[in-house]
Structure 1
Amino acid sequence: MSTLKTYTKKDLESFTNPRTGEQKFGEVVMVFSNWDELKKSAVKYVLVGIPETIGVRANLGKSGAETAWTAGLRALCNIQNNRYTNAKNVMILGEIDCKTENEKAGNISNNDPNVLDKLGELVTQIDNKVSEVVQKIVEAGKIPILIGGGHNNSFGNIKGSSNALGKPINCINFDAHTDFRALEHRHSGNGFSYAFEDGFLQRYFIFGLHLNYTSQAVFESIHKHESRVKFNLFESISVSEEISFTDAMKQANDFCCGSDFGLELDMDAIEAMGSSAMTPSGFSITEARRFMRYFAKKDHCRYIHICEGNPEAGIFPNQVAKTISYLISDVISI
């Protein structure tokens, strides 16, 4: 598949630091050989990277999300392989090949009057690549875990899953923002609205939405589609404590988990986390882990996406990478 750069055991060795008397995750985890073997394998999850930040830039955001995949994989490869981390439950597929799009984006000046439209065209090209890979994985009966890139990739995740299943799917998004903005050029802020408009997204729940960063126009759009789009507020959960974190998860569960759904986690919803839009007020890493484990174990979960992490913006070395590895291990150890 030309849209995919697969990884070998030798590639993983370059990420892994062996230590005498221990066995690291990267030393034992399976790598991809071919699609037939994937279908036959006992693994439940397939790990894929999306090394791009074009969608974030097209949304006037800060670059950096393109490095989260490599940083997160390195951290994952160096956790311990033991009876709990369950390396046998996942296969490393590789990464979406975004080299051409990244190079083209790098040649587009921010002073170009058509910069956003040009970046949006590149985002659409990446949409096609992501949806193609996700569709193949879901058709193989596995659950893709996608790491890195902007939240624009939610569109490809939803489209690929929907095409594989032959019907629109639901989605739960752990996020400070709706990413349900206007249908203008493609960017990281309108992946869900495009998926909704194009018929790939049936029901959509935003978990922990921040009041300060949601426009009145977006609230009105949600109200217009209130039978299919719902949310709860971060402020209601963690500030005024009108609803517990557990009950908030139950709201999302009751709305989306009765049929096939995707699971999205934007790292900018985690307090002080290195991301494209860092927040001083947000959920804790432990709460993000609780959320991930709660929903990933649901029978109808069809894909998982961890996005917008920016390792260069972290408040301590390896903060973002270690957080990604915790979130992945929480999923695969179920």
Structure 2
Amino acid sequence: MEALKIYNYKSVEKLISIRDGETRFGEKIGFVESLESLKKSKAKYVLFGIPEDIGIRANHGKPGASKAWEVCLNSLLNIQNNEFTTPENLVLLGEISCKAEMEKAANIDENDPNYYPKLGDLVEKIDDKVSFLVEQIVSAGKIPIIIGGGHNNAFGNIIGTSKAIKKPVNILNIDAHTDLRKLEHRHSGNGFSFTQRDGFLGKYAIFGLHKNYTPQYIFDELKSVSNIKFHLFEDLILQTHQGKMAAFNSQLEFVNKQAFGLELDCDAISNFPSSAQSPSGFALNMVRNFLQLTAEEKNCKYLHICEAAPTSTSPGQVGKALAYFITDFMEKSNN
């Protein structure tokens, strides 16, 4: 796959801070030479990045999510290797090459009347790369952990997983938005709309949906279909921690009887540097609880973390958060 930049230890060696008497996660993480060799690996999880934010811009959003993969690696590779983190259970595959599309996006005049549709054309090219790669990983019996990029990449995750398992895939989406916007050009706000239309999306649960950012036509649609269930964030605010966890479990139970994927949009986290940062949302530690609960489910086929947009003052904090999310999701298989 030419669109995939496969890593080896030399690719990331300079990112790892070696210290006497300690072993870093990056020193023990797994690598493969090709997609074909994934089946031979004993690791359960496969990590890769999608360094782009074209889909967000095509959805009238702010750029910056293309940097999430880099800050994630800088943090993840430098956490400790110990009895709890077990990096040998994770293959660091590499990244989907988005350089050509990012360069083309940068050269489109923002005053062009077709600016957004032209960005959408580039999103479609990335869609093809993501869906192919996810299909290969899931078909190899592994669980992809995907670091975006925008939420447009849910489209490729769903299609790739669905093709691998040969049936529609259920989704649990921790998100302030439904991403069920109109079927116009491809962007970060309509990945679920397109997969719903094309028959790749099974049951769809949205957890933490914000009233203020959901159009009425979407609420009308949600009421008219039986395969979609949502829980408003506003209904969770006054609940106890136990109440919030019970609500999350109810959403989990809606999708977990069959193969499902977990989508985590960082816009859902309070004050988290993201493409649509909000002062209202879930506490970061609660999101970690959600990931730990989901990791216990045998039918979970992938984790996608998207929309994180580190700023010049927040790269370390964003990177640490993403590293926590990854190791939380891996934790149950380590015990």
TM-score scaled by structure 2? 0.97
Offset at 1:37?
2.7
The equivalences for 1:159-198 within 5 A come to: 159-198=159-198
Q: In the alignment, residue 15 of structure 2 is paired with which amino acid?
A: F
Superposed displacement of residue 253, structure 1: 1.6
Partner Cα separation in structure 2 for residue 82 and residue 234 of structure 1 = 36
Look up the SS of the partner of 1:221 in the other structure: helix
Structure 1 CA distance for aligned equivalents of residues 40 and 96 of structure 2: 23
Q: Residues 242 and 6 of structure 1: is their aligned pair in 2 closer, same or farther, counting only changes over 3 Å?
A: closer
The structural deviation recorded for 1:31 is 1.1
Aligned counterparts of 1:130 and 1:206: Cα–Cα separation in 2:
22
Which residue does 2:88 correspond to in 1?
88
State the match for 1:296 in structure 2. Answer: 295
1:319 aligns with 2:312: no
Match of 2:264 in 1: 265
Cα separation, 1, equivalents of 2:234 and 2:259: 29
Structure 1 residue aligned with 2:204: 204
CA distance in 2, matches of 1:155, 1:173: 13
Amino acid at match of 1:83: E
- My pick for the range that moved more, 236-245 or 66-75, is 236-245
1:148 Cα shift? 1.7
Which residue is 1:97 aligned to?
A: 97
Look up the equivalent residue of 2:329 and give its one-letter code.
Answer: V
Alignment correspondent of 2:10: 10
Partner of 1:331: 329
Query: What is the Cα deviation at residue 51 of structure 1?
Result: 0.3
Which residue pairs with 2:236 in the alignment?
A: 237
Change (3 A) 1:158 1:85: same
The AA in structure 2 aligned to 1:136 is: Q
Q: CA deviation at 1:246?
A: 1.5
Map of 1:22 onto structure 2: 22
Task: Quote the offset at 1:296 in angstroms.
Answer: 2.4
The offset of 1:35, in angstroms, is 3.0
Moved more, 244-253 or 128-137: 244-253
Check the 8 A contact 1:203/1:256 in 2, yes or no.
Answer: yes
User: 2:143 & 2:62 partners in 1: Cα distance?
Assistant: 30
How many residue pairs were aligned? 332
Contact 2:179 2:189 in 1 (8 A): yes
One-letter identity of the residue aligned with 1:322: K
Secondary structure of 1:187's counterpart equals coil
2:109 and 2:296 map into 1 onto residues whose CA distance is 44
Cα deviation for residue 230 of structure 1 reads 0.8
Shift of 1:243: 8.4
Measure, in 2, the Cα distance between the counterparts of 1:241 and 1:211: 20
Q: Does the 8 A contact of 1:274 with 1:313 survive in 2? A: no
Change (3 A) 1:324 1:40: same
2:77 corresponds to: 77
**Hey, what's the Cα distance between the residues in 2 that align with 1:39 and 1:230?**
35
> Percent identity at matched positions?
51
Whole-Å separation in 2 of the counterparts to 1:98 and 1:232: 34
Contact 1:134–1:157 under 8 Å retained in 2 = yes
SS at match of 1:31: coil
Distance 1:277 1:297 in 2: 30
Tell me the CA shift for residue 239 of structure 1. Answer: 3.6
Partner of 1:45: 45
How many angstroms does 1:317 deviate by? 4.7
- Quick one: distance in 1 between partners of 2:5 and 2:270? 33
| Residue in structure 1 matched with residue 151 of structure 2 by the alignment | 151
Q: Is the 8 A contact 2:71 2:315 kept in 1?
A: no
Normalising by the residue count of structure 1, what TM-score does the alignment of the two structures yield? 0.97
- CA deviations on 1:143-196 (whole Å, 9 max, x unpaired) are 000002000000000000001111110000000011111111100000111111
Distance 1:199 1:212 in 2: 29
Q: Does the 8 Å CA contact 1:263/1:296 hold for their aligned counterparts?
A: no
